[in-house]
Amino acid sequence: MRGRLGAPLGSALAVVVLIGVMLGVTGGFSLSLVLVIAVLAAVLWAIGRRAGRRQGDTQWNRGAEAPLAPAQSPSRGGVVGALGRVEVRELILSPAFGAGVGLAGLIIVVFAVLSPHDVDNSWPLLFSLLPLAVHPFVGLMVVAAHFGVTRARRHGCDELFDSCPVDRGARLSAHLATAWLPAVLAVAFALLFPALISLGNDGLYGSIHFAAWLDVITCGALAAGGVALGVALGRWAPWTLSPFAALFAVFALDSAIGGGGRWAPRHYLATFDPSNRVDLLFLHPRPGARLLWLGSLAVLVAAAALFRDRRTVALRVGGGALAFAVFAAVLVVRPIPAARAENIAALLRDPAAHQTCVSAGNGVEACAYDEYADHATRVADEVRPVAAAVPAGVLNGVRFMQLYTKGVHSLPGEVAAALYGTEPANPAGVLRLRFNSTPDSFRTARLRLAARAVGAPTEPGPGGLPQVIAGQARGVVLLWLAGRGMGARADKLARSDYAGRSRPGDRVGGDATARGMAWSGACYGENGPVVWAPQDLEAARRLFAADTATVQAAVSANWARFVDPGTATNELLATVGVAPVGPAEHVEARRYTC
């Protein structure tokens, strides 16, 4: 067994290396994942063919006869249990199993350890995405189970297996009995992933309800269903490429079920929902019905695997599973109750009545939906230093508020009907608070409040175009205010690291407009409302390095002059006693891009 460990360990390592190489070539994790699965499919197919060819004829030497002690015939359950333990070992030694574990581990390392802030929303949404995150592991469990069932066929020893006193039905049951291991690993993945994210990301908000634990169990059901599918394919379609074709078919079916711009309850019939584009507050998730649906499908597929060899058992089990599957499907696709649809519509129609507000000082409040009150507290703490640096009275009555901005067409049909004749509220004068919780989203809140203070726009203009504030002192004051309380991290506000680039890897250079696009969050759906000149960003960095008390005194004493669009950047620097910057380069209004 020790020698055979090289196959799964090598597969796990190969996944890590392949994705690392492809990240360097493609510049993106999603494309790399597609490519690595394609390469892995070819590698596993080659391994299967090679394993089938290397079995040569061997001579059997009969040893001396030994008298056999009379033994009682074991029960069928005992035989299946014993074979199941053997098949668990074979599953662990499978290259596909090693690749699946390696890929799951890599997903945890990349998203939960190296970049936990890319998970940028609420705890309920994070848990709802766990079934999607476990799909690569589940897909490779399908391959591993299929390879286990077809081992005799690939090695050319079907006759030897058929001559055994244990029938094919018992052997298939043993393969199905291995499903517990992938299910346990999938649940462990679903628990470890958010636990590690919580260590590196303190921006996630909301509460972890019972529905979240149903999402965790759903990951286990998916893994068990993957094993059942692999066993069924091994019995009915024993060709090496069958599991890969089946995975492609499942992906296509999932995409078809979840297609379209409007969320619908039927999306939960898919193994993952590819069209969840709005916050869960405005949907009607059904995790319990979904778990019952996926669990019933797993049992139904397992019954299909046994149908040719244990027809009576398969019909009984499959019939019960089919009944549960139909019942679960009805629960999933039933319309959203009218009362629930009206409650969701009320959240959209009058958000102020359903949000908790926290004071940030100096007349500023941060509000979030009651379910996400802790997010309001976090935002208020974030912008409090900005509000404190603005002269008293300038920001009186300013309020951040979570607003739905995606349009009625993305809402469930029943909610859209409840909103008929009205639109989701977008109160005038309110500063939009995004549902994201990345560091960029908190920097954006700082920038938005500072922009309101100096009289600059807080949202893009017509066509999504920003207002050009190149060479204006108020643009530099905006950045300086936004950086209050950030310490050395404030310098990032005055640097255009990635926004405005035509290529993601082009982090330096570009024209003056690209180098002046410093509004945070371009890669998280934020379209900057203003664009600076590169010289303004340099001026802001000089103010960050200057004595804070001196700058604060100058800004407070000359507030009206510095927020006047006619006041130049160098006038501000001269008043503070900082060296001037060069003339502002020509900047044009252009949409921010990531």
What is d(CA 387, CA 383) in angstroms, rounded to the nearest whole number? 6
For Cα atoms 40, 32, 131, give the angle at the middle one, nearest 5 degrees. Answer: 80
For Cα atoms 362, 368, 370, give the angle at the middle one, nearest 5 degrees. Answer: 125
Q: Residue 170: its pLDDT value, please?
A: 85
171/44 same-domain check: yes
Q: Residue 500: its pLDDT value, please?
A: 43
User: Containing H/E element for 367?
Assistant: strand 364-369
On whether residue 517 sits in a domain, the answer given is yes
Q: Residue 511: its pLDDT value, please?
A: 84
Range of the domain at 378: 345-435
360/498 same-domain check: no
Residue-wise pLDDT tens for the chain (594 aa)?
Answer: 554 555 555 555 555 555 555 444 444 444 445 555 555 555 555 555 555 454 444 455 555 555 555 555 566 667 777 888 889 999 999 999 999 999 999 999 999 998 888 887 899 999 999 999 999 999 999 999 999 999 877 777 766 666 666 788 888 999 999 999 999 999 999 999 999 999 988 889 999 999 999 999 999 999 999 999 999 999 999 999 999 999 999 999 988 887 666 778 888 899 987 556 688 899 888 899 999 999 999 999 999 999 998 999 999 999 999 999 999 999 999 999 999 999 999 999 999 999 999 999 999 999 999 999 999 999 999 999 999 999 999 999 999 999 988 878 888 889 989 988 777 877 878 999 988 888 888 999 999 999 999 999 999 999 889 999 999 999 999 999 999 999 999 998 998 855 444 444 444 457 888 889 999 888 777 889 999 999 999 999 999 999 999 999 999 999 999 999 999 999 999 999 999 999 999 999 998 876
On whether residue 310 sits in a domain, the answer given is no
Q: Residue 496: its pLDDT value, please?
A: 81
Q: Are 303 and 173 in contact (CB under 8 A)?
A: no
152/18 same-domain check: yes
219/94 same-domain check: yes
Of 400, 435, 470, the one marking the end of a domain is 435
| CA 578 to chain centroid | 45
CA distances from 390 to 82, 114, 123, 301 (A): 74, 36, 34, 65
Tracing tokens 């049951």 back to the chain, one arrives at 173
Radius of gyration, CA atoms only, the chain: 30
Q: Which amino acid is at 365?
A: E
On whether residue 136 sits in a domain, the answer given is yes
99/192 same-domain check: yes
Number of domains in the chain: 3
Of 435, 464, 494, the one marking the end of a domain is 435
112/19 same-domain check: yes
96/193 same-domain check: yes
193/96 same-domain check: yes
| CA 397 to chain centroid | 36
Q: Residue 70: its pLDDT value, please?
A: 52
Q: Residue 30: its pLDDT value, please?
A: 46
CA distances from 275 to 258, 263, 278, 329, 415 (A): 6, 7, 9, 19, 17
Residue 149: which of 75, 208, 67, 236 has the closest Cα?
A: 236
510/410 same-domain check: no
3-class state of residue 85 by DSSP: helix
Q: Which amino acid is at 360?
A: A
What is d(CA 225, CA 257) in angstroms, rounded to the nearest whole number? 19
Of 406, 435, 464, the one marking the end of a domain is 435
Tracing tokens 């501000």 back to the chain, one arrives at 572
405/462 same-domain check: no
What is the DSSP code (8-state) at residue 432? E
Q: Are 470 and 584 in contact (CB under 8 A)?
A: yes
On whether residue 314 sits in a domain, the answer given is no
- Largest distance between two CA atoms of the chain: 107
156/209 same-domain check: yes
Q: How far is the first Cα of the chain from the last one, in angstroms, to the nearest whole number?
A: 50
On whether residue 568 sits in a domain, the answer given is yes
460/397 same-domain check: no
| CA 570 to chain centroid | 45
3-class state of residue 81 by DSSP: helix
On whether residue 290 sits in a domain, the answer given is no
On whether residue 449 sits in a domain, the answer given is no
On whether residue 566 sits in a domain, the answer given is yes
